Amino acid sequence: MSPHPRRAHSVLASWLVASAVLLSPCLAPQALAAGKTTIAAVMHSDLRVIDPGFTTAYITRDHGYMVYDTLLATDANFKIQPQMADWKVSDDKLTYTFTLRDGLKWHDGTPVTAEDCVASLKRWGRNDGMGQKLMDFTASLEAPDAKTIVLKLKEPYGLVLESIGKPSSLVPFMMPKRLAETPQGQQIPEQIGSGPFKFVKAEFQPGVKAVYEKNTDYVPRKEPASWTSGGKVVKVDRVEWITMADAQTAVNALQSGDIDFMEAPPYDLLPVLEANPDLKIDVLNKFGFQTLGRMNFLNPPFDNVKVRRAAFLALNQKDVLDALVGNAKYQKICGAVFVCGTPLETDIGAETLIKGNGMAEAKKALAESGYDGTPIAIMAPGDVGALKPQPIVAAQLLREAGFKVDLQATDWQTVVTRRASQKPVKDGGWNMFFTNWVGADVANPVVNVSVGGRGTKGGWFGWAEDAEIEKLRDGYARASSPDEQKKIAAEIQKLNYEHVIYIPLGQYLQPSVWRKSLTGVLDGPATPVFWNIDKKE
């Protein structure tokens, strides 16, 4: 355990927010796996990318939690807990030693080794924003024996445990060395983890379903399950993620009992679901989501900060949230880059987003920017309710400001793949896309990859390059007091809006719904998870 639980609590607390179907819905889950207790779930998105270190897409993260495990994890008291490993820290705070617990096995039956975990951490440290920052401060990362991992720092760094135990994208999942050493830019060739479920490759049909079976060799921790930590006790035989792109079809299947769980029901259908006594509705992620717009800094016209500013001034949070949610109970206008309700909350630089009064200024800024009429290629996924309205609303506002807009209809998994392209628009590139982050993924300058300025050297999609912001992010990581952290975060937010690194478009809560035959559904900052859930037949 960490010898500094109070510090860990305060640091993590600063992350968090206070407040046409291919499978007939008439086919019950039991018909798919006769004799086995099966949970049939409709997730927020179809699953196509299955490498949890390759994309920040949440459906891939959720897949990761099924198949893989982590060295450390976050509990409901905001504390880092041991998961696959325990740890100790040297007196000078420069050496972290992790010891693997006994009995860990990969799904192919081979033992988990420290060498595997070192390779996994290094892969994660190349791909994840918080991991990159940790590696900037790391002098060495080695496995002196089969059960021991030693991380040595160049200088004390206050977010080591919080980085390795982070609950959401990109999660530092452990995998065999041979997979972790897959060349950069390539997806791992097989799904072998040590987690509570095994991925059933033979039954995986993108656009139809993904199937997971209980890992009977998995030995859960003895502590109660709490967020992503504790005992991951699997109480069913199978979990099937069924793709139902049409929300009404999924709702009908849920009410008839043909599926058991729906992660993201449309807000306008909640009254229908609330009237059904066999269903339970709850918000599992109490910290909510931040929805946002992201521009591509490599392609015209958003390589010009004046054009980015004009686009920023044209957008506002109310129009986006009203289209996305349309229910005051579940939405919140918030100008804070690092989330409202945290110690880092501030409105600096966000006036037009909050008040929605920037259109006249946007038109003037665009006219003075040198914009040459280049169409803005906006990727617009139509298959995910939580991602469909934002590009439509933004396109309308940008056109009003004087932009030419090419709204390109697609699906979310195509966006997930295409947004990694650095090619010109004419060759399959893009100018703008929209996505959502859970609160824990954006609530401080180190974890929030959207605000980073690494450019093409490890930066997030869009590849904003900003040395001043990167210097401030390093300063935040070194900061020794909450007041100093708050000051640095405010400076970063100011620069984010001035340079338009990304555009926060408000916060919202997403309720989930499930049949009351399911018990033990867990909440947390990275939900849903399917351990701890039992099902009455």
Backbone φ, ψ for residue 521 (5° rounding): -70, 125
Strand segments, DSSP code E, in 101-207 are: 138-145, 148-153, 197-199
* Three-state DSSP class for residue 479: coil
CB burial of 428-459 (b: ≥16 within 10 Å; e: otherwise) equals ebbbbbbbbbbbbbbbbbbbbbbbbbbbeebb
pLDDT (0 to 100) of residue 35 = 80
pLDDT (0 to 100) of residue 245 = 85
* Three-state DSSP class for residue 500: coil
**Strand pairing category for 331-332 and 38-42:** unpaired
Amino acid at 262: M
Q: Domains of the chain (ranges plus CATH)?
A: 5-19+34-243+511-535 (3.40.190.10), 289-508 (3.10.105.10)
Task: Tokens 């697609």: give the residue.
Answer: 410
List the structure tokens of 460.
């997030």
From residue 510, give the alpha-carbon distance in Å to each of 191, 405, 447: 29, 29, 22
SS (H, E, C) 169-190: CCCCECCCHHHHCCCCCCCCCC
Write down the H helix ranges in 289-358: 305-314, 317-324, 351-355
Cα separation of 434 and 415, whole Å? 9
Rg of the chain over all Cα atoms, to the nearest angstrom? 23
Q: Specify whether the CB–CB gap between 400 and 327 falls below 8 A.
A: no
From residue 228, give the alpha-carbon distance in Å to each of 47, 66, 137: 21, 11, 26
pTM (two decimals): 0.89
pLDDT (0 to 100) of residue 27 = 42
pLDDT (0 to 100) of residue 431 = 98
Q: Specify whether the CB–CB gap between 210 and 241 falls below 8 A.
A: yes
For residue 301, whether the previous peptide bond is cis, meaning omega lies within 30 degrees of 0, is: yes
pLDDT (0 to 100) of residue 411 = 95
Q: What is the pLDDT along the chain (537 residues), one digit of tens a residue?
A: 434 433 333 333 333 333 333 333 334 444 456 689 999 999 999 999 999 999 999 999 999 999 999 999 999 988 999 999 999 999 999 999 999 999 999 999 999 999 999 999 999 999 999 999 999 999 999 999 999 999 999 999 989 999 999 999 899 999 999 999 999 989 999 999 999 999 999 999 999 999 999 999 999 999 999 999 999 999 999 999 999 989 999 999 999 999 999 999 999 999 999 999 999 999 999 989 999 999 999 999 999 999 999 999 999 999 999 999 999 999 999 999 999 988 999 999 999 999 999 999 999 999 999 999 999 999 999 999 999 999 999 999 999 999 999 999 999 999 999 999 999 999 999 999 999 999 999 999 999 999 999 999 999 999 999 999 999 999 999 998 999 999 999 999 999 999 999 999 999 999 999 999 999 999 999 989 999 999 998
pLDDT (0 to 100) of residue 33 = 61
Q: Specify whether the CB–CB gap between 528 and 310 falls below 8 A.
A: no
Q: Specify whether the CB–CB gap between 405 and 378 falls below 8 A.
A: yes
List the structure tokens of 3.
């010898």
pLDDT (0 to 100) of residue 34 = 67
